[in-house]
């Protein structure tokens, strides 16, 4: 029974380590298949005046100029501008993520082509590289070389491209998935593209909205580029950029883990610690039970020593037994891995390798884990048992083994500490996630359907057209309100701009977030107006010159009242008059503080991306179908692509929700292992005290006296575990909570619930086991062997 207990507990620990280990290997392998990945770098911007510009993009011509002027340092470069628009072939129209990019994509990264020439993936400026998935959607087959695809630009004009290469479907990489969850379906050359009326910005030293990558020559270090980058920026870019901008080169091989404040790396670290904690609990069980069962083997050890057995031989015997038990546990853990892999795929939103897909790396790591676990679990019992005195061992006296009680109790305290600590972290995580969805975000997220606004035509005629579609949707009885905007509340923060508010015309520009909206934005999202009014409806084509700001902007501008105040835009963009102030609302996730916000009117020639409709109460499925039908009527060539605001919020906190699910599973497994460990240790202890309990009963002890006697031994251990676990859990949960600008204040109730729950479950198990022994007939217990 005890061997089975050890094997089962170790199997749970090893299988959880396998699952988490596979996830870590999967996440760590992102970008690993890219050619020359250790020489590849991503360029991001660091601004001396915070929030002057975006961090994820930089000055367009920089990477190209570095290659042209410093070929001894830079081997190659790749830049792209991400866009979303309608891609068509015949009567098929799909919304797709498209990269307007350099033609070095295939040669620089070694991405595989199903069809086309890898050395010359692009024929000319009117050729396009697409993925096999897009080929299947548009043409129903993968070999679509020289097929024609239509792409609409922001002026409403259609450009035809011929397919020159078809890319093989690839796993997630930074290059193909940056700004795009599912990856870019189509790659269009920078040269000659007419998507933006004013160009894509890759040749302008005044703009900083291009995503840039570079491949360095062999042996070149990133710091060697600092001087050349500074010289090129000083020579070509305006002073407002070159004196304020510093370029950072981030290694592409680790970028996925370290980007976004290293949130992926932190999550993997937490999961690693939890997995090792579960394994440690199983190892502690093994040690305690091995030492506990020593009473049955102490004479064997003594006899082996009498017959000439040396201590190292005894140690080796116990270690081999331990490793063999670990090997049995590993075999069982492989079966458990296959059973629970689908569950973890769902929990972690990934695709873990099946057992039959394990390579040499996985087999080697599993074998190493088995060896380490076997040695760790067996070394202490081996040393304790092999070190017993010969005379005491032959007589069956425990001797030095009895002296190990303190160690065993300490290990039990460690078990309880880990279980309580992870329980507290799991509850804290759960409450923080609940806080995400319960907190007042400053707008009403219920029944908000966000539709990608097509056709995209960012001129006065395009604005008139999209607003006419909006007005047509408003005539549907299932739609309460509708708005056109460039941004909606989501994880990615909006763009930023430096402006000079009235009273600070000659000072340094104030950095402020900006979004483009129409006059129905506040009413659709349910945003409160604290001063003045929102944008009003008026004749299209008339420049309004109006602006709306939020409370944070008014505060940072130093205004006590905002209505009627002027805001000067940069680069001669003119002045805007503030007509209203809205209440602060969360435009980004709760990781970020609410920042100053300036709202432009879409009628003033500003871009748009989304149509957000507020649905009436009623049958949701029926409402969706009615909106779909109305959309097809109003915009027949545009795909109906939508998401609900609730789902957007879910995606903002996807990593935290995955961690919560994994932590909940881990808490349950830890508690199971601890209880199994208590069961094993308690069973051994009660077996050795069965005559003592019988004598106590004969002398008049009641059942409750015997049960309380045994409970007292464990009560002290659990109390000490709580004393250790609470401050440690408080420290680590607070470190985790620091990544959120808005977070819960950990309550003492979390700690009390965790401590009491573990204590009650443990005491219940102890009581059941104790009662079973205490109710045994004392006559039977006192019989000689």
Q: What is the pLDDT of residues 295-350, one digit of tens each?
A: 566 677 777 777 887 888 888 888 898 899 899 999 999 999 999 999 999 988 88
Name the nearest CA neighbour of 115 among 167, 170, 176.
167
Cα angle 492-497-502, degrees, rounded to a multiple of 5: 135
Digit-coded pLDDT (tens) for 546-570: 999 999 999 999 999 999 999 998 7
Compute, in degrees rounded to 10, the torsion defined by CA atoms 256, 262, 265, 268.
Answer: -120
Residue 783 pLDDT class (50, 70, 90 cuts): low
Confidence category of residue 504, pLDDT binned at 50, 70, 90: confident
Q: What is the largest CA-CA distance in the chain?
A: 106
pLDDT digits (tens, 9 = 90+) for 186-233: 999 999 888 888 788 889 998 888 999 999 999 999 999 999 999 999
pLDDT at 115: 96
- Taking only the tens place, the pLDDT of each residue in 612-651 is 999 999 899 999 999 999 999 998 878 888 999 998 888 8
**Residues ≥6 apart with Cβ < 8 Å to 531:** 561, 562, 563, 580, 581
Give the bridge partners for 78, in sequence order.
Answer: 213
As a whole number, mean pLDDT of residues 386-395 equals: 63
Q: Which residue has the higher pLDDT, 730 or 297?
A: 730
Q: Which of 48, 39, 138 is nearest to 94 (CA)?
A: 138
The mean predicted confidence, pLDDT, of the chain is 87
DSSP H or E stretch at residue 182:
none
Sorted by where each begins, the domain ranges of the chain are 1-40+260-397, 53-243, 455-638
Q: What is the CA radius of gyration of the chain?
A: 33
User: Is 61 exposed, middle or buried (CB count within 10 Å of its CB: 0-12, 13-18, 19+)?
Assistant: buried
- The whole-number pLDDT of residue 398 equals 52
| Percent over 90 (pLDDT), the chain | 49
Q: Which residue has the tokens 């999550």?
A: 267
> How many Å apart are CA 58 and CA 63, to the nearest integer?
9
Predicted local distance difference test score (pLDDT) of residue 538: 66
* Angle between helix 654-688 and 748-774 (nearest 10): 30
What integer is the mean pLDDT of 696-719? 81
33 Cα distance to chain centroid: 21
User: Residue 612: what pLDDT?
Assistant: 96
**Per this entry, what is the length of the chain?**
785
Q: Can you tell me whether residue 610 is helix, strand or coil?
A: strand
**What residues does 716 pair with on adjacent strands?**
none
Higher pLDDT, 419 or 396: 419
Rounded distance, CA 454 to CA 553, Å?
31
104-143 tens-digit pLDDT: 999 999 999 999 999 999 999 999 999 999 999 999 999 9
Query: pLDDT per residue over 3-24, tens digit each?
Result: 888 888 889 989 999 999 999 9
Ramachandran assignment for 110, one of left (phi > 0), alpha (psi -120 to 50 degrees), beta (any other): left
Backbone angles phi, psi at 725, to 5 degrees: -70, -40
Residue-wise pLDDT for 244-265, tens only, equals 899 999 999 999 999 887 889 9
β partners of residue 158:
152
User: CB neighbours of 201 closer than 8 A, spacing ≥ 6?
Assistant: 60, 81, 207, 209, 210
Contact (CB, 8 A) for 10 and 377:
yes
Give the pLDDT confidence of 366-377 residue by residue, as tens digits.
Answer: 999 899 988 888
CA 358 to chain centre: 25
**Distance of alpha carbon 451 from alpha carbon 524, whole angstroms:** 14
Among candidate residues 28, 30, 23, 18, the one with its CA nearest the CA of residue 363: 18
Pairing state between β 127-131 and 158-167: parallel
Q: Cα(777)–Cα(433) distance, rounded to whole angstroms? A: 54
Return the pLDDT at 99: 96
**At residue 656, does pLDDT exceed 90?**
no
CA distances from 339 to 7, 12, 15, 354, 671 (A): 17, 12, 10, 10, 20
User: What residues contact 145, with CB distance under 8 A and at least 6 apart?
Assistant: 115, 116, 163, 164, 165, 166
Calculate mean pLDDT across residues 168-173.
Answer: 91
Percent of the chain's residues with pLDDT above 70: 93
What's the token pair of residue 65?
Answer: 């100029």
What pLDDT does residue 394 have? Answer: 58
Backbone angles phi and psi of 338, in degrees to 5: -65, -35
Sorted by sequence, the CB contacts under 8 Å of residue 495 that are 6+ apart come out as: 54, 513, 514, 515
C-alpha span between 531 and 519 (Å, rounded) = 16
pLDDT value for 779: 66
Decide: 50 and 511 in contact? Cβ < 8 Å. Answer: yes
**How far apart, in whole angstroms, are the C-alpha atoms of residue 66 and residue 277?**
49
pLDDT tier at 460 (50, 70, 90 boundaries)?
confident
Whole-angstrom Cα distance, residue 33 to residue 173? 9
pLDDT of residue 703: 76
pLDDT for 392: 60
Q: What is the full DSSP assignment across 3-63?
A: HHHHHHHHHHHHHHHHHHHHHHHHHHTTTTTSTTGGGEEEEEEEESSTTSS-SS-B-TTHH
For residue 514, how many C-alpha atoms fall within 13 Å in the half-sphere facing its CB?
23
Nearest alpha-carbon partner for 470 in 612, 339, 590, 354: 612
């Amino acid at each position: 029974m005890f061997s089975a207990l050890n094997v089962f507990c170790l199997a749970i620990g090893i299988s959880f380590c396998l699952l988490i280990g596979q996830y870590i290997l999967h996440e760590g392998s992102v970008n690993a298949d890219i050619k020359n990945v250790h020489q590849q770098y991503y360029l991001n911007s660091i601004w001396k005046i915070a929030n002057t510009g975006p961090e994820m993009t930089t000055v367009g011509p920089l990477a190209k100029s570095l290659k042209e002027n410093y070929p001894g340092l830079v081997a190659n470069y790749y830049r792209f501008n991400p866009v979303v628009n309608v891609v068509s072939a015949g009567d098929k129209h799909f919304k797709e993520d498209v990269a307007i990019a350099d033609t070095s994509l295939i040669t620089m990264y070694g991405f595989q082509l199903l069809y086309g020439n890898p050395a010359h993936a692009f024929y000319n400026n009117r050729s396009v590289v697409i993925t096999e998935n897009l080929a299947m959607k548009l043409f129903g087959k993968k070999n679509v070389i020289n097929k024609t695809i239509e792409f609409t630009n922001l002026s409403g004009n259609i450009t035809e491209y011929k397919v020159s290469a078809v890319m093989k479907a690839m796993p997630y990489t930074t290059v193909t998935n940056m700004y795009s969850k599912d990856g870019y379906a189509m790659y269009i050359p920078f040269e000659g593209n007419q998507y933006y009326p004013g160009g894509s910005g890759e040749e302008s030293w005044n703009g900083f909205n291009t995503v840039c990558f570079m491949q360095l020559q062999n042996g070149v270090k990133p710091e060697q580029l600092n001087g050349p980058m500074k010289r090129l920026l000083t020579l070509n870019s305006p002073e407002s950029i070159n004196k304020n901008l510093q370029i950072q080169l981030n290694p592409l091989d680790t970028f996925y883990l370290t980007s976004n404040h290293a949130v992926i790396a932190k999550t993997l670290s937490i999961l690693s610690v939890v997995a090792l904690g579960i394994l440690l609990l199983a190892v502690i069980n093994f040690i305690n039970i091995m030492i506990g069962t020593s009473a049955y083997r102490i004479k064997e050890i003594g006899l082996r020593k009498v017959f000439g057995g040396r201590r190292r031989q005894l140690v080796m015997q116990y270690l081999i037994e331990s490793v063999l038990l670990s090997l049995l546990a590993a075999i069982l853990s492989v079966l458990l891995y296959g059973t629970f892999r689908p569950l973890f795929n769902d929990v972690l939103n990934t695709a873990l390798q099946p057992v039959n897909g394990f390579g040499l790396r996985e087999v080697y790591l599993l074998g190493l884990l088995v060896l380490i676990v076997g040695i760790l679990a067996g070394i202490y019992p081996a040393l304790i048992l092999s070190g017993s005195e010969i005379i005491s061992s032959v007589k069956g006296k425990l001797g030095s083994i009895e002296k190990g009680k303190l160690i065993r109790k300490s290990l039990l305290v460690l078990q309880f500490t880990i279980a309580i600590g992870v329980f507290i972290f799991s509850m804290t995580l759960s409450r923080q996630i609940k806080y995400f969805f319960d907190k007042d975000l400053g707008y009403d997220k219920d029944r908000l359907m966000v539709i990608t606004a097509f056709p995209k035509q960012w001129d006065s005629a395009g604005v008139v057209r999209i607003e006419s579609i909006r007005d047509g949707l408003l005539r549907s009885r299932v739609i309460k309100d509708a708005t056109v905007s460039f941004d909606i509340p989501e994880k990615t923060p909006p763009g930023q701009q430096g402006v000079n508010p009235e009273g600070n015309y000659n000072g340094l520009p104030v950095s402020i977030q900006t979004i483009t909206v129409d006059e129905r934005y506040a009413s659709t999202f349910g945003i409160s107006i604290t001063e003045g009014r929102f944008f009003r409806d008026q004749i299209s084509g008339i420049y309004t010159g109006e602006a709306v700001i939020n409370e944070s902007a008014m505060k940072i501008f130093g205004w006590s009242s905002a209505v009627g105040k002027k805001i000067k835009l940069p680069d001669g963009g003119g002045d805007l008059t503030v007509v209203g102030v809205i209440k602060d609302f969360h435009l980004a996730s709760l990781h970020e503080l609410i920042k100053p916000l300036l709202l432009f009117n879409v009628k003033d020639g500003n871009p748009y991306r989304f149509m957000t409709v507020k649905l009436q109460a009623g049958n949701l499925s029926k409402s969706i179908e009615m909106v779909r039908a109305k959309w097809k009527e109003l915009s027949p060539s545009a795909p109906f692509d939508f998401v609900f605001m609730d789902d957007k919020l879910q995606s903002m906190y996807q990593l935290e929700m995955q961690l919560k699910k994994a932590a909940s599973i881990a808490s349950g497994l830890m508690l199971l292992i601890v209880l199994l460990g208590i069961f094993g240790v308690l069973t051994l202890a009660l077996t050795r005290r069965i005559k003592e309990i019988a004598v106590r009963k004969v002398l008049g002890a009641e059942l409750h006296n015997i049960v309380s006697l045994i409970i007292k031994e464990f009560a002290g251990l659990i109390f000490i575990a709580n004393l250790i676990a609470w401050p440690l859990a408080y420290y680590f949960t607070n470190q985790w909570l620091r990544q959120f600008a808005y977070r819960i204040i950990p309550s003492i109730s979390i700690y009390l619930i965790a401590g009491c729950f573990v204590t009650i479950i443990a005491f219940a198990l102890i009581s059941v086991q104790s009662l079973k022994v205490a109710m045994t007939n004392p006559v039977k217990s006192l019989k000689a062997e």
